[in-house]
Structure 1
Amino acid sequence: MSGKFFDTSNLRGDVYGGLTAGVVALPLALAFGEASGAGPIAGVYGAIIVGFFAALFGGTGSQITGPTGPMVVVFAGVFSSLSGDPSLVFATVVLAGVIQIAFGVLGFGQYIRLVPYPVVSGFMSGIGCIIIALQLARLFGHEPAGSGTIPALLEVPNAVSDPHFGALFVGLLTLAMVFTWPAKWGKVVPAPLAALITGTIIGLYIEGLPILGDIPTGLPGLVVPTIESDTAIIIFEAAFILAVLGAIDSLLTSLVADNMTRTRHNSNRELIGQGLGNTVAGFFGGIPGAGATMRTVVNIRTGGSTKISGMLHSLLLLAVVVVLAPLAEKIPHAVLAGILVKVGYDIIDIAYLKRAHKGPRFDLMLMALVLGLTVFVDLITAVLAGVVIAALAFVKQIADEQLRKASGADGEEDHSLSDEEAAIYSQISDDITLFDFGGPLSFGAAADLGHQVRERVGRHDHKALLLDFSQVSFMDVSAARAVETITVDAHSSGKRVYACGIRDEVDGVLSGLGVNEYLSADMQYPTREAALRAASVWIKED
């Protein structure tokens, strides 16, 4: 990215990319707005406001921001829980924006991207399934009796048995167009826009077809957010979920943009831009948004590369709202449902699902668990459960590897010794156990480490034990206690303990916790060779 706030070196590409992205965003904004419960115009307001401010202040030049599947799924639940009260609903959006700004200011951007791929795949695929489930009945001209995935699925049998054939026709036509629209035609007219126009025109001649109805024109009015005591928990919880999902969604899209443009985004600056956009959108009745992968890819492929393209995308949508809003009143619900089914399908990680059986079985099980929790419980539970399980599994793998080495099961007895060290070791190998920590010790392995070393020393009935700390760059309390267990056991059984390569940071932890009682300074050596020589002298004298 350029050092200038506005980089006009690619102005022509940015204009074309931004306008094209705006055309693609229009039907999606209307569809997401309708699906959220706040109305199609709220979707467009969200795309305009969040898109403009995220582009202006964000850290990914080519990113297009607007309503996305994950954000809409959560927001729709909030809208239903708060009975559609604008002051409460949009207080959630404002608060989510403030939390995202805090994430950016506190430097959380680098940590949010650490979510494991199976978890991301699972909750994105789950969101795709939710979006499709919510729209199935609408394709048949029916409206689910309640909000959420379960009521939507329960309505499907009724819709199938008693369809509105006009709605079904335009819905199926929309699906056919968005799934089969030729790529070369899409460069001129994007598939969602073509389906929107075609379905709306046909819908004008079908009697009794459910349509959007009245849509406000002009600029949005100010919404004064409020938080009441009986709804505060709902608002704060939903705001946090929106903030986290929006952050993950945006930063994943930023990574896609980086790969396509060979640039590097600023994660924390991106979060601040996204937060500012959502905060302002909340004050004007716009639904929350995040970095939108498809719209960003369209922008990049048609020439956009700087924040100018994202801002132009928003200005085009603003012009549409001011001038063309009355025409949008005739759009059938079934058309927007068809467009959203395609959006849901695109969100599902089909590429991974096709090959998942060839990869690690644990990752597939984790992905399936997160998907199920996303669809039938809630998104934050799914993500938190997935991250915790993945982290514990990783710690277990590392611990097992460390313990395998500690037990000597790998059969590596030379420990990568130099020629001088090997010569000394070969003379005393029948009397000393050389234990190389091999790197920072995980707390997962610490609990069993003492037992493994005790078994290894006892197996050979050695007189001495050499602990090599050369590759241990840091140590936590769990690891320090494991070292204490090893030294106490060795002392109790009459073994002599030598140590080498202890760094100042590690020595500070050991001495601070009183662990080095049986690891005196005169038994510590700067190098492994020096420790082996000292051990050799003692063993021969003994």
Structure 2
Amino acid sequence: MSLIHGLHFKNIRGDLLGGLTAAVVALPLALAFGVSSGAGAIAGLYGAIFVGLFAALFGGTPSQVSGPTGPMTVVMASVFTQFVAIDPQSGPLYAFTVVIMGGLLQMSFGLLKLGKYVTLVPFPVISGFMTGIGLIIILLELGPMFGFPGASSAEMALREVPLYLREADSAALLLGSMTLAIVMFCPRKVSAIIPPTLLALVIGTLIYQLFHGERNLAVIGDIPTGLPALVMPAFSMEILSEMFLAALMLAVLGSIDSLLTSLVADNMTKSHHDSDRELIGQGIGNVFAGMFGGLPGAGATMRTVVNIKAGGSTPLAGAFHAVVLSGILLGAAPLAENIPHAVLAGILLKVGLDIIDWRFLQRLHRAPLFVSGLMLLVLVLTVMVDLVTAVFVGVFIANVVTVKRLSDNQLDSIRVIDSHAGNDEGLTERERQLLAETKGRVVLYQFDGPISYAAAKGLSTKLEGLRPHDALLMDFSRVPLIDVSTALAIEDMILEAQQVGRDVHLIGLNPIVNDILKRLRILDLVPVNNCHKQRSKALEMAHSMVFRDEPN
């Protein structure tokens, strides 16, 4: 396995152009995300540089460009506010330590090869989650858009909406609205030359500088130049559990965000990413971002798409994007100090609108009630509670319902065959004859497919209501595997049958099923002669045992 996945130098021109274009797109977003998070514009730039560089070098999606994203910024804003409120002096250190911890968790996800499971989150959960994040971004940016400081939470922003509308700063609102209009309605011919976000940033800032007069709006302010200083991790045992939970939230969200973007990149490049390697690369990037006071990041869909369209296809593009941003930081950071918050708010409002799953919302009324309800529940929990609760509750409900449906299907596929059931399809003529001659005194219990723990409790109900019988044959010929719960349910069936004097026969146990029944000592309950490889042999033996005491 090569150190840098997918690296080659056959596409240097395309990679450099793709990286440059991605950096131009990333710059205004990094500044805006930094300001929105509460950590400052410089934190956004540091995050774009470190996550962008290390995720490109050590990740598993060659064409992906990484950096701060809307969802990650929402979480970081919450983390920053939470720990600064706990300790105003050490709070920022705790917040960046959480970023480091989140990166380490992401690396562990990759090392444990959990990448293939991350994207198995059900679609209604992802849709509600992303729509909720989009709404949070919009709500948080309403304050700066109307000339007020940003709210610390979506709930607080909702409460402040009447105040925003009543006492709006007309200059800020006009500037923010103009910025939003440029980003949304920029002609394609123009956007092909310069990214709309950068164009809106430049025009909005220039207009403010030329015409603001004495109307001073909130601006980014001082941006440090030069190389970032190392941020030493800080811990407090009193809040360690809160730090771990916040880190887990960042790690899970960053992993989902990155791997969904990897799927987009795969679709565009007709390639296949390495999920586990991508998580390791993203984790390394977030560790370094936290160590140098940067925002956490993930695979960024917009920057990745722009990179691919401009010709980027290898990790060189993502790394060059970080180098370009580093050059801007070292040489041109002071130029960004006078960017108004209202301009950044206009840009982020468009980001929030883009994150909302409009495609599914338009079809919400046509979707099954459960799907629509789950999506809306996750959306509300995301906005009003927190992101981790929303995802965990959504996944739990979706999995419970899915397991229930699968167990119902499994139970429906199980047949109880006797001479009176009329459901003996699949049996040979000889097997039908043997079963019919017993006149209901032999019952064939035929499993079909894997049997999960959810179906275990329903196994014995299939036998309820049958006429009294002398022998129970359990056919496992079509069962590839069972779990412990199912094995214990089978044990109960065997014991119940034997308590009323019935002979029990097991048929067609493959090595996997045989092993688990043997390990749990369930096979000890059944005589060795009553374990058969073929169904016909079991029927012959059960037939002879039923009639052994009757005269010829």
State the TM-score bracket (shorter-chain normalisation): over 0.9
1:41-190 alignment runs, 5 A limit:
41-83=42-84, 85-144=91-150, 146-190=151-195
Q: Which residue of 2 aligns with 1:29?
A: 30
CA deviation digits over 1:299-356, x for unaligned, max 9? 1122111101101111111111122211111211111111111111111111122223
Q: 1:354 to 1:414 in 2, by over 3 A?
A: farther
Q: Which residue of 2 aligns with 1:317?
A: 325
Q: Which residue of 1 aligns with 2:400?
A: 392
Question: Are 2:443 and 2:471, in contact at CA under 8 Å, matched by a contact in 1?
Answer: yes
1:381-530 alignment runs, 5 A limit:
381-406=389-414, 413-414=423-424, 416-417=426-427, 421=431, 425=435, 430-450=440-460, 452-455=461-464, 458-530=465-537
2:341 pairs, out of 333, 348, 352, with 333
Question: Are 1:62 and 1:306, in contact at CA under 8 Å, matched by a contact in 2?
Answer: yes
Q: 1:419 to 1:27 in 2, by over 3 A?
A: farther
CA deviation digits over 1:388-432, x for unaligned, max 9? 1111111111122223344769x9924544566556556657443
Q: Secondary structure at the match of 1:303?
A: coil
Q: Which residue type is aligned with residue 466 of structure 1?
A: L
1:534 pairs, out of 523, 537, 541, with 541
2:292 pairs, out of 278, 284, 300, with 284
Question: Are 1:86 and 1:223, in contact at CA under 8 Å, matched by a contact in 2?
Answer: no
1:347 pairs, out of 335, 355, 368, with 355
In 2: Cα distance, 1:149 partner to 1:275 partner: 28
Percent of aligned positions that are identical = 49
Comparing 520-529 with 280-289, greater Cα deviation is found at: 520-529
Structure 1 unpaired stretches of 5+:
none
CA deviation digits over 1:363-397, x for unaligned, max 9? 22122111111111111111111121111111111
1:212 matched to 2:220? The reply is: yes
Q: Secondary structure at the match of 2:459?
A: helix
Q: 1:270 to 1:428 in 2, by over 3 A?
A: same
Question: Are 1:119 and 1:387, in contact at CA under 8 Å, matched by a contact in 2?
Answer: yes
Q: Which residue of 2 aligns with 1:192?
A: 197
Comparing 197-206 with 209-218, greater Cα deviation is found at: 209-218
In 2: Cα distance, 1:423 partner to 1:51 partner: 72
Comparing 60-69 with 4-13, greater Cα deviation is found at: 4-13
Question: Are 1:464 and 1:496, in contact at CA under 8 Å, matched by a contact in 2?
Answer: yes
Comparing 350-359 with 37-46, greater Cα deviation is found at: 350-359
Q: Which residue type is aligned with residue 25 of structure 1?
A: A
1:376 pairs, out of 384, 401, 405, with 384
Q: Secondary structure at the match of 1:448?
A: coil
Q: 1:216 to 1:44 in 2, by over 3 A?
A: same
Give the drift of 1:39: 0.7
In 2: Cα distance, 1:187 partner to 1:412 partner: 70
In 2: Cα distance, 1:362 partner to 1:236 partner: 33
Q: Secondary structure at the match of 1:170?
A: helix
CA RMSD of aligned residues (A): 2.3
Q: Which residue type is aligned with residue 507 of structure 2?
A: C
Q: Which residue of 2 aligns with 1:358?
A: 366
Question: Are 1:211 and 1:332, in contact at CA under 8 Å, matched by a contact in 2?
Answer: yes
Structure 2 unpaired stretches of 5+:
none
Question: Are 1:453 and 1:486, in contact at CA under 8 Å, matched by a contact in 2?
Answer: no
In 2: Cα distance, 1:415 partner to 1:45 partner: 68
In 2: Cα distance, 1:194 partner to 1:265 partner: 33
Q: Secondary structure at the match of 2:61?
A: coil
1:233 matched to 2:241? The reply is: yes
Give the drift of 1:519: 2.6
Question: Are 1:454 and 1:486, in contact at CA under 8 Å, matched by a contact in 2?
Answer: no
In 2: Cα distance, 1:264 partner to 1:427 partner: 59
CA deviation digits over 1:283-313, x for unaligned, max 9? 1111110111111111112211110110111
Give the drift of 1:69: 1.5
1:262 matched to 2:270? The reply is: yes
Q: Which residue type is aligned with residue 55 of structure 1?
A: A
In 2: Cα distance, 1:63 partner to 1:439 partner: 40
Q: Which residue type is aligned with residue 156 of structure 1?
A: V
Q: Which residue type is aligned with residue 240 of structure 2?
A: A
Q: Which residue type is aligned with residue 518 of structure 2?
A: S
Question: Are 2:146 and 2:170, in contact at CA under 8 Å, matched by a contact in 1?
Answer: yes
TM-score, L = length of structure 1: 0.93
In 1: Cα distance, 2:107 partner to 2:310 partner: 30
In 1: Cα distance, 2:322 partner to 2:261 partner: 18
Q: 1:493 to 1:415 in 2, by over 3 A?
A: farther
Give the drift of 1:103: 1.5
In 2: Cα distance, 1:86 partner to 1:400 partner: 51
Question: Are 1:44 and 1:317, in contact at CA under 8 Å, matched by a contact in 2?
Answer: yes
CA deviation digits over 1:146-182, x for unaligned, max 9? 5111122222211111111111111111221222223
TM-score, L = length of structure 2: 0.92
Give the drift of 1:194: 1.4
In 2: Cα distance, 1:313 partner to 1:183 partner: 23
Question: Are 2:3 and 2:58, in contact at CA under 8 Å, matched by a contact in 1?
Answer: no
Question: Are 2:416 and 2:463, in contact at CA under 8 Å, matched by a contact in 1?
Answer: no
Q: Secondary structure at the match of 2:444?
A: strand
